[in-house]
Amino acid sequence: MPSISFIVSTIEYSGREDRLRQVIAMLAQQQGDHEIVLVWQGQDDGRAPAFPGVKVIPVRFFSSSAARNVGASVAQGELLCFLDDDTFPVERDFLRRVSDAMRDRDIDFVTCNIASSGNVMAGEAVDRDVVLDRKSIIPHMWEPGLTIRRADFEKIGFDPTIGIGCIHGSSEGFDLGYRLLVAGYRGQRLAGLLIDHPPLDTAGDYRVERSFYYSLGNGAVLVQHRYYGTYAWQIAKTFGRFGISLLRGDRARAKASFVRALCMILGPLIPRRPARIIPLASAVAVAEQAKTIRDLAA
């Protein structure tokens, strides 16, 4: 059985420190030859956490894609499994399950199912395995739990101009999956491999902010890879949701829908660039704002 590196990225003042400790504790219980690599994004290396047996890599930028690439560059496992600071595999024998599937099905990368609850889940659950192709890659290339051979990932990697921390704050998983398929790699989403993920924050201000950054990335990557029909349909559907929300008097959803439609249009027109270093004061302000929103939602 091969070895595996669990690569977790987190950010200073994230507000998810308790959840991160739970994630690390659950990963430590994983069976088989494994290591945990935590990429900590912040301005003060002295604030980076320490966990027994965990390889902690401090970096002074805020970029989910770049952080994952850094984690992969220091990982020693034959397989890489990418996780966020609030996600972990439900099964303790994840390595055996995923390595057996990759060997028996002759596939090169795997995405997982989601175990969650709440009104707004981070992704759609599936009740059967899905072969990843040009059409299915969009809804089923879900980054938490993405597992791939280290040697293969080193040839492709995440695009550092997209993903959380960048102006184009999403679709890095879809972009990676598309490029893997074009390069001839085969993948599947496995219904039996569950990743625990908490429900998303539905506070109004957070919803609008998420729509802004995520939609810029959605639009840019869809156009980049010539998914023109999907791109047009997503914009039309979002404008339709905007109109329905106005009629229902749901101002928060109408605002988020309008922002999403506008940013889907603007995304392909705005130049992409890697994330920049963020000042410490900005990081603190963002953390305080996020805490306020969570408190109000509670």
Q: How many CB atoms lie within 10 A of CB 292?
A: 12
pLDDT of amino acid 207: 60
69 within 8 A of 134, measured Cβ to Cβ: no
Interatomic CA distance for residues 14 and 158, integer angstroms = 22
pLDDT at residue 119, rounded to an integer: 58
pLDDT digits 0-9 by tens, 206-259: 467 777 889 999 999 999 999 999 999 999 999 999 999 999 988 888 888 999
Asked if 194 and 89 count as a contact pair (C-beta separation under 8 A), the reply is: yes
111-144, pLDDT tens digit by residue? 999 887 655 556 678 899 999 999 999 989 988 9
Alpha-carbon distance of 68 to 38, in angstroms, equals 9
Can you give the length of the chain in residues?
298
Per-domain boundaries in the chain: 204-297
Amino acid at 193: L
**DSSP-derived 3-state class of residue 137:** helix
pLDDT of residue 62: 87
Model-wide pTM > 0.95:
no
Q: What is the pLDDT of residue 140?
A: 93
Conformational region of residue 162, where left means phi above 0, alpha means psi within -120 to 50, and beta covers everything else: beta
Q: Which residues contact 19 (CB under 8 A, 6 or more apart)?
A: 85, 86, 198
